[in-house]
Chain A
């Protein structure tokens, strides 16, 4: 029976001018091509992560985390100030990015078909694709020029601007998945709308929003371009919002383009620390939100 129908198909297709084997072979060729493209795409990931461990792992030690950079020619030194600086600047960025992104995102998620939401959603997507270096130039003209000094604040401003669209869009999408029945149940109990949003809608979307915020933070943690001429660089430990500050990505960049072997070694170490930090946040959040998702 099956053979018969195969025969029918073969004849039908032969009649339409296609050879059965040619179709089979072209199908096989394209299957192989598509399958091999994923291997080519993932090969660089393997190579990059592999090289980071190969070149960087031996230089990551306690000194690396607690010391500031040593002058050229002197052994030792670390990126302690840059690590703290990175967290400091991302913290400043969060002060701008989280409130604006979150509150704006609530509006988009709660009134998804409002005209303002449609426009804001589009603008956020476009802002998300704006080159990070342009954000740096923007922060330079808005913060650095009037203050006449490179400051941690300017770096935080640039990164904060970049966090806004990410947080806004994730909050928007998560809130839209919250079932309306929950909102209605709360409103039917006489709870005012604003209370419903804060205590019911946001609470049920909590883990998703948190994931969005952490992913936005992880993304700007690796940004170099907007910091080059905003928070600039600093050879010392600095905790002032009005002084230039050293950050891990900028430090990696400066060391990588320097002519010194020892600085190259440290650049690899810094890169390893940065990538591991970002990967931990990414993977951790993904497994966390997947578990949450599968539970409900």
Chain B
């Protein structure tokens, strides 16, 4: 009897000890995984600080505004103005969205509202595959397939038809702002489609059924119910695509023509922020040259961070009601 009680007491002691160590182990576990979650935040801060620190030389010698507004980029004589790159990045991104938005939203409407389920299950992975193709392969295809096509057919046609506009003057080179924008449009359209489809799927069925019960056609239901409901989420998907387009590197580098100039004509070659980094980073021999390039990376980071944050906020606002 006494032995049994002793044993029981021992067990109780053991449980106590174990309980203590359990609590301890759980705290350690939670701290460890919490640390790694924190690490992601630290990483972003580190990224920003590191790039800022490395570009300070350029900002302090040239001045932030002079650097952003400068139109001449001449590393040999040490003149660094980033405007041609900023201009090229912005113009190609906006043009690509002009092409990609109607196509992407149209496709999303088709997938979410019109297509039968089996067709959607077949088509949606294909759209995702489009997003999975590496940038360098779009570039390869752009150089050898799209750009000759542009030079032979599309650009001469545009010049003949719209040649009176300043946007379509120049020579049909096949490489330039317009070709880069088309490649970009193909690359960002999957982002618009996947997010918009998801947002459109969150529209309450009861609202749509109410509209149909009133005798509305599919287009009227879409126009009056689904699109207003999903509006800000769709807008978010477009902004998300904008962020992708702004930072896209390889495909743009390969077809934009890599000429640091600001031209009204979309047929002329240009340059973009990401492209100049890709092309000139290994050639940067002086400290000021390197710092100027890192400054471009820093500006690009700031722009994409802002655009991404806005997009995430818009999408979060619509889908959280789910």
A133 touches B36 (CB 8 A): no
B134 touches A133 (CB 8 A): no
A193 touches B29 (CB 8 A): yes
B218 CB–A CB distance under 8 Å: yes
Q: Please give, as numbers and ranges, the residues of chain A lying within 8 Å of B102 by CB-CB distance.
A: 37
A185 CB–B CB distance under 8 Å: no
Q: Which residue of B lies closest to A48 (CB)?
A: B141
CA A150 to CA B118, docked complex, whole Å? 49
Q: Please give, as numbers and ranges, the residues of chain B lying within 8 Å of A31 by CB-CB distance.
A: 114, 218-219
A168 CB–B CB distance under 8 Å: yes
Encode B171-198 as 1/0 by CB contact (under 8 A) with A: 0000000000000001001000100000
CA A221 to CA B304, docked complex, whole Å? 23
CA A160 to CA B8, docked complex, whole Å? 53
B51 touches A134 (CB 8 A): yes
- Contacting A at CB under 8 A, from B256-314, are 274, 277-278, 281-282, 293-294, 297, 300-301, 304-305, 307-309, 311-312
B132 touches A37 (CB 8 A): no
For the complex formed, measure the closest distance between the CB of B123 and the CB atoms of chain A, giving whole angstroms. 6
A235 CB–B CB distance under 8 Å: no
Q: Please give, as numbers and ranges, the residues of chain B lying within 8 Å of A127 by CB-CB distance.
A: 40, 43-44
CA A107 to CA B193, docked complex, whole Å? 30
B138 interface neighbour in A13, A34, A48, A264, Cβ under 8 Å = A48
For the complex formed, measure the closest distance between the CB of B134 and the CB atoms of chain A, giving whole angstroms. 3
A23 touches B250 (CB 8 A): no
A141 CB–B CB distance under 8 Å: yes
Q: Which residue of A lies closest to B34 (CB)?
A: A107
For the complex formed, measure the closest distance between the CB of A97 and the CB atoms of chain B, giving whole angstroms. 11
Q: Please give, as numbers and ranges, the residues of chain A lying within 8 Å of B74 by CB-CB distance.
A: none
Q: Please give, as numbers and ranges, the residues of chain A lying within 8 Å of B115 by CB-CB distance.
A: 38
- Contacting B at CB under 8 A, from A167-213, are 168, 192-194, 197
**Which of under 10, 10 to 19, 20 to 34, or 35 or more describes the interface residues of A?**
35 or more
**Which of under 10, 10 to 19, 20 to 34, or 35 or more describes the interface residues of B?**
35 or more
B110 interface neighbour in A37, A100, A110, A283, Cβ under 8 Å = A37
A275 interface neighbour in B133, B144, B254, Cβ under 8 Å = B133
A107 touches B36 (CB 8 A): yes
Q: Please give, as numbers and ranges, the residues of chain B lying within 8 Å of A282 by CB-CB distance.
A: 128-129, 132
A232 interface neighbour in B44, B282, B300, Cβ under 8 Å = B282
For the complex formed, measure the closest distance between the CB of B175 and the CB atoms of chain A, giving whole angstroms. 11
B297 touches A34 (CB 8 A): no
B50 CB–A CB distance under 8 Å: yes
- Contacting A at CB under 8 A, from B80-114, are 102-104, 106-107, 109-111, 113-114
Secondary structure at the A interface, as helix, strand, loop or mixed, is helix
For the complex formed, measure the closest distance between the CB of B304 and the CB atoms of chain A, giving whole angstroms. 6
Encode A48-63 as 1/0 by CB contact (under 8 A) with B: 1001100100000000
A41 touches B33 (CB 8 A): no
A267 CB–B CB distance under 8 Å: yes
Q: Please give, as numbers and ranges, the residues of chain A lying within 8 Å of B22 by CB-CB distance.
A: 192-193
Q: Please give, as numbers and ranges, the residues of chain B lying within 8 Å of A268 by CB-CB distance.
A: 140, 144
A219 CB–B CB distance under 8 Å: yes
B136 CB–A CB distance under 8 Å: yes
Q: With A41-B193, A120-B41, A129-B243 as given contacts, are A34 and B134 in contact (CB-CB < 8 Å)?
A: no
Q: Please give, as numbers and ranges, the residues of chain B lying within 8 Å of A13 by CB-CB distance.
A: 215
- Contacting A at CB under 8 A, from B214-270, are 215, 217-220, 222, 240, 243-244, 246-250, 254
Q: Which residues of B contact A (CB under 8 A)?
A: 22, 25-26, 28-30, 32-34, 36-41, 43-44, 47, 50-51, 54, 102-104, 106-107, 109-111, 113-115, 123, 125-130, 132-141, 143-145, 186, 189, 193, 215, 217-220, 222, 240, 243-244, 246-250, 254, 274, 277-278, 281-282, 293-294, 297, 300-301, 304-305, 307-309, 311-312
A44-B186, A110-B33, A126-B305 are known contacts; what are 13 more A-B pairs with Cβ within 8 Å?
A: A23-B220, A27-B219, A34-B109, A116-B34, A129-B247, A130-B47, A134-B247, A137-B297, A138-B51, A164-B43, A224-B134, A275-B134, A279-B132
Complex A-B: 9 CB contacts under 8 Å: A27-B218, A37-B106, A38-B107, A42-B127, A100-B40, A194-B26, A218-B132, A256-B144, A283-B125
